[in-house]
Amino acid sequence: MVASPEKSQITTQVATLPEVSVVPQAVPEQVIVKPAVKRIYCIRCGTKLMKGYDEPQCLNCGYADYSSTPEASQKGQSLLSAATRYVLRYVGEFPTLSETLAQVKLIRIRNRVAYQVECPFCDKTMEQSSLSGKRPEVREQRYKCPDGHRVSLVSIGRDDSLGWR
């Protein structure tokens, strides 16, 4: 039997086609986002949820509502992270110093917040010194710079605003 030329051409064409493996591809599904429900009570035991570090948690059974989104903090920044810097006016008895300003910045010293005072006369950083004990009724903090200048921070008025003398 002699093969017809048409059949031989068909077999050669089939033989020259590259082999393609058919891999089923996943069709992307549409994700339906449900609005977050702000839960007040535990869905397991019914007690009131308490706000934990990130999400509301039940103190009785341990359930945590991970579907809640964190709310934007309405509290102000902490005093230290606000990079608070004060410019203080002179409030003493000498009128020649009334235009002299002192700059004060809040800093952290171990576990407390303290003032870092720049000397109004030489712009060097001052160190806190102890009070003499002569006037204990006046709330003041004393500072001394390396050149010997002394500054006292005092609260003035009822709103506890600061001044220096």
Concatenating the DSSP letter of every residue in 79-137 gives TTTTT-EEEEEB-SS-GGGTT-EEEEEEEEETTEEEEEEEPTTT-PBPEEE---SS-TT
**Is there a domain that residue 11 lies in?**
no
Predicted pLDDT at 129? 87
Co-location of 40 and 107 in the same domain: no
Predicted TM-score of the model (pTM)? 0.48
**Is there a domain that residue 124 lies in?**
yes
Nearest to 142 by CA among 154, 151, 132: 151
Residue range 57-72, pLDDT digits in tens: 888 898 988 887 766 6
**Is there a domain that residue 149 lies in?**
yes
Co-location of 47 and 117 in the same domain: no
Top-ranked range on mean pLDDT: pick from 6-20, 68-82, 146-160? 146-160
Co-location of 133 and 108 in the same domain: yes
Residue range 8-58, pLDDT digits in tens: 555 555 556 566 666 666 666 766 666 666 778 999 998 988 887 778 888
Co-location of 160 and 90 in the same domain: yes
Co-location of 113 and 62 in the same domain: no
The answer to whether residue 143 scores a pLDDT higher than 90 is: yes
Co-location of 64 and 117 in the same domain: no
Co-location of 65 and 89 in the same domain: no
Question: Average pLDDT in the 138-163 region?
Answer: 85
Which distant-in-sequence residues (6+ apart) come within 8 Å of 66 by Cβ?
A: 55
Co-location of 149 and 89 in the same domain: yes
Co-location of 108 and 155 in the same domain: yes
**Is there a domain that residue 28 lies in?**
no
Q: Domain residues for 145? A: 85-164
**Is there a domain that residue 2 lies in?**
no
Q: How many domains does the chain have?
A: 2
Q: What percent of the chain has pLDDT over 90?
A: 21
